[in-house]
A and B are shown apart, each in its own frame.
Chain A
Amino acid sequence: MSLVDRLAQHAASAAPVPGAAAALLQSSLQRFRELGLPQARTDGWRQTSLRSLEKLTPDAATEDASAAEWVRADASWPGIRTLLRLLNGRGLRAAEHLPEGVQVRSWQDALADPPEWLWQSLQRGYGGVADSFAWLNTAGARDGALIELAAGTVVADPMRLLLAHGAGFAGLAQARVVLRLQAGASLCVVEDLAAMGEGGGLANLVIEAHLEPGARLDWVRVQATPDAQSLIARSRFELGEGASLRYFTADWGAALARHDLEVVLNAPGAACELSGLSVLLGRRHVETRLALQHRAPDTRSATQWRSLADGRTRAVFGGLIQVEAGADGTDAQLKTTNLLLSPHAEIDAQPELVIHADEVACSHGATVGQLDERALFYLRSRGIAEADARQLLTFAFCQAQIGAWIAPLVRETLERELLARLPTRVMEG
């Protein structure tokens, strides 16, 4: 049986859903079967090969983690509440006391009785073969959650979505998390793709957030899935009038990771700040494809991406900004800076701007380089040993990418996790 058939069979065996959604999920599965998987020739997929997935057994059994592992996972972000947690896409557990104005439903329940806006979003579906994993997710994902914030709800403290992977799992894990922030609502989310011990297989994850007028969302994503796992993730953010999104993702896990980040600025005044940091050590392949659309006048975006590639790793960043006709007065800046630390590592950075509007202020730039020799000499001339100076500059390159807007408690854990991956003796002393 081909991989497409095995994946489709797995999705077909998912729990049945009552009501109108059943037909929609069925047609999504049909669509996935027709499209098949992206190939080496598929536009947008030329840099990432799926050959390593050929031997995947989607039906491998999943087990729960031990109580001790959950305790450890819960303690890994000190001071930050866990809003919901999943392991290998299963076993939704939501926080017992939700903040006022926040509602969480399981994805299964949401599918059984979807609100109108969700129904419309599901019906829109996706595009062609480049999106086939999203079709697969729609067809087969039953776990996950629908999170809604009532108008004006302001949740001040960061909330964590713990989407853990590992615990020996080696099959296909699918989950979907959809958020809707009604007008003026405000939320700060930590999307924690944590490794819970070792694990392999494939995680296929879809996250969507709908921001209504004036809503504000801060989103920090940490991709630390197990080293032997593959991850196909899609994050989509749609912004209404005057809504704002600040987004940061740190990628340092997975053997193979592909992340499609889609941001749509739908109405005037919508604005986003997007930033990413890939710290690739050992052997791994991580591709991020950003698709940012300015669909309305006076929308703003600032995007900064950084990759560090060491060992035998490959970092790919494709950043496409589209300014559609009529989106006059758009301000869009895209910059990517890259650090190549090994002769066996590779970095591909492809910023791209497509502009169909007038009076826009847009720019993009990409650099790939090694550590700054002048900075290295400066540190050494003060007595810091060369190896320590290299570590310090490497850490600094990454740390500088962790934006000042990120809440202090979130920053602390991010910096600690970064330090754990890039040991820097002089910072620890």
Chain B
Amino acid sequence: MLKINDLHVRVAGKDILKGLSLHVAAGEVHAIMGPNGAGKSTLGNVLAGREGYEVVSGSVEYLGQDLLTLSPEARACAGVFLAFQYPVEIPGVNNTYFLKAALNAQRKARGEPELDSIQFLKRVREKLKVLHISDELLHRAVNEGFSGGEKKRNEIFQMAVLEPRLAILDETDSGLDIDALRVVSEGVNRLRSPERGFLVITHYQRLLDHIVPDRVHVLAEGRIVESGDKDLALKLEQQGYEWLQQRKLGAAA
């Protein structure tokens, strides 16, 4: 469903992604791991269409279309979802209004009937239960005054309501305690299905104990330097990213 080929991306005049290639098939969970500054978040932002990320060369094909030509909202309507590393606080915009507006914009774009308030609330309540989110959160402004954990849970809650085809989780585990991590992981696992793909970006292996990936990739210096199954994550946890550096030096010698 997602085919990234030889992607080069520049941010503020600096080359961040330098020939990244990655294929994600529907139904698969791919984990992207790597040291800080490797370009992990850049990958998520480029896929979601954030401004300020200059694609120098390469291509991204999503469900047969050129993803890079689409606006952020068109990508969302096509089923791409980014769970933000730093969810944005939006004072004055009610969480429920926002989510209903988003869901209906997506449904409209796909030619599906919009949900009325009753249908929408029914859907919301089902998802709330799974994520142990209180009703009260819905009545507040988007992310305003939320704790770090609440913000991350709210991202996964939005994902659950919007039911994307391709979900990109950008360090959703950072700042979560072990209970919140379990709740968030359960939310993700419930959404796993044969037609849905996941790109789970994380710095730590512990998330992958809960969300077991089909493939693990190591992103370093702007490209994928190693791919494997879930055991690769364990190896990284034991030996650190240093091990990759050593190996690269060995190969260059």
Please state if B162 and A374 are interface contacts (CB–CB under 8 Å): no
**B180 is an interface residue with CB less than 8 A from chain A:** no
- Complex contact B88–A399 (CB within 8 A): no
Q: Could you say which of A373, A377, A382, A396 has the most chain B C-beta atoms within 10 Å of its C-beta?
A: A382
Tell me if B71 and A383 are in contact (CB < 8 A).
Answer: no
Given contacts A381-B76, A385-B73, A426-B101, contact A392 B109 (CB under 8 A): no
Given contacts A379-B98, A380-B71, contact A385 B105 (CB under 8 A): yes
Restricting to B109-165, which residues have a CB under 8 Å from any CB of A?
A: 109, 114, 141-142, 158, 162
Closest residue on chain B to residue A387 by CB atoms: B73
Report the nearest A residue to B89, measured CB to CB.
Answer: A375
B84 proximal to A (CB < 8 A): yes
A386 to B141, CA, bound (A): 20
Q: Does A429 reach chain B (CB closer than 8 Å)?
A: yes
- How many whole Å from A424's CB to the nearest CB in chain B? 9
Task: Give Cα A317 to B142, complex, Å.
Answer: 29
Q: A392-B101, A429-B104 are in contact. Are A375 and B92 (CB under 8 A)?
A: no
Given A382-B102, A383-B106, A385-B105, the answer on whether A393 and B97 have CB atoms closer than 8 Å is no
Shortest beta-carbon distance from A406 to chain B in Å: 15
> Contact: B101 with A378, CB < 8 Å?
no
Residue of B nearest to A401 (CB): B92
Whole-angstrom distance between the Cβ of A379 and the nearest chain B Cβ? 7
Chain B contacts to A: CB under 8 angstroms: 48-51, 71-73, 75-77, 81-82, 84, 87-88, 90-93, 97-99, 101-106, 109, 114, 141-142, 158, 162
Q: Is the CB of A384 within 8 A of B90?
A: no
Nearest to A429 among chain B residues (CB) is B104
Taking a contact as CB atoms under 8 Å apart, the answer to whether A384 and B71 are in contact is no
Bound-state CA distance A372–B114 (Å) is 28
Are B101 and A429 in contact, CB atoms less than 8 angstroms apart?
yes
Whether A373 contacts B51 by the Cβ 8 Å rule is yes
Q: Is A388 an interface residue, CB under 8 A from the partner?
A: yes
**How far is A357 from B3 in the complex, measured between Cα atoms in Å?**
68
Interface contacts (Cβ under 8 Å), in number, total 88
Task: State in angstroms the CA–CA spacing of A143 and B51 once bound together.
Answer: 58
Contacts of A378 in B (CB 8 A): 84, 87-88, 90, 142
Query: Which residues of chain A come closer than 8 Å to B162, judged between CB atoms?
Result: 382-383
Q: Does A45 contact B (CB under 8 A)?
A: no
A377 near B73 (CB under 8 angstroms)? no
Kindly report which residue of chain A lies nearest to residue B159, judged by CB atoms. Answer: A382
Residues from chain A with Cβ under 8 Å of B92 in the complex: 395-400
Contact between chains at B97 and A383 (CB < 8 Å): no
A372 to chain B, nearest CB (A): 8
Residue of A nearest to B80 (CB): A381
Give bound CA distance, A392 to B141, whole Å.
Answer: 13
Q: Give chain B residues whose Cβ lies under 8 Å from the Cβ of A374.
A: 88
Contact present for B76 and A382 (CB under 8 Å) = yes
> Do A379 and B51 contact each other (CB < 8 Å), given the known contacts A385-B105, A392-B101?
no
Interchain CB contact under 8 A, A382 and B50 = no
Is A375 touching B105 in the complex (CB atoms < 8 A)?
no
The CA of A384 and the CA of B75, in the complex, are separated in Å by: 11
Interfacial chain B residues near A389, Cβ < 8 Å: 73
| CB-defined contacts of B77 to chain A, threshold 8 Å | 383
Cβ–Cβ contact A383 & B51, under 8 A:
no
Q: List B contacts of A388 (CB < 8 A).
A: 101, 105
Residue A68 lies at the interface, judged by CB distance under 8 Å to chain B: no
Q: Within 8 Å CB of A377, what residues of B?
A: 50-51, 72, 88
In the assembled complex, 9 residue pairs joining A and B whose CB atoms fall closer than 8 Å, in A order, are A377-B51, A377-B88, A378-B84, A379-B90, A380-B49, A380-B72, A385-B105, A388-B105, A392-B101
How many whole Å from B204's CB to the nearest CB in chain A?
A: 24
CB contact under 8 A between A382 and B91, given known A377-B50, A388-B105, A429-B104: no
Residues of chain A contacted by B91 (CB below 8 angstroms): 396, 400
In the bound complex, do residue A381 and residue B105 qualify as a contact, i.e. CB atoms below 8 Å apart?
no
Complex-state Cα separation, A285 to B109, whole angstroms = 41
Do A383 and B109 form a contact, CB below 8 Å, given A375-B88, A378-B88, A392-B101? yes
* Whole-angstrom distance between the Cβ of B90 and the nearest chain A Cβ: 5
Chain B CB within 8 A of A67 CB: no
By CB atoms of chain A within 10 A, which of B51, B81, B82, B88 has the most? B88
* A379–B71 CA distance with the chains assembled, in angstroms: 12
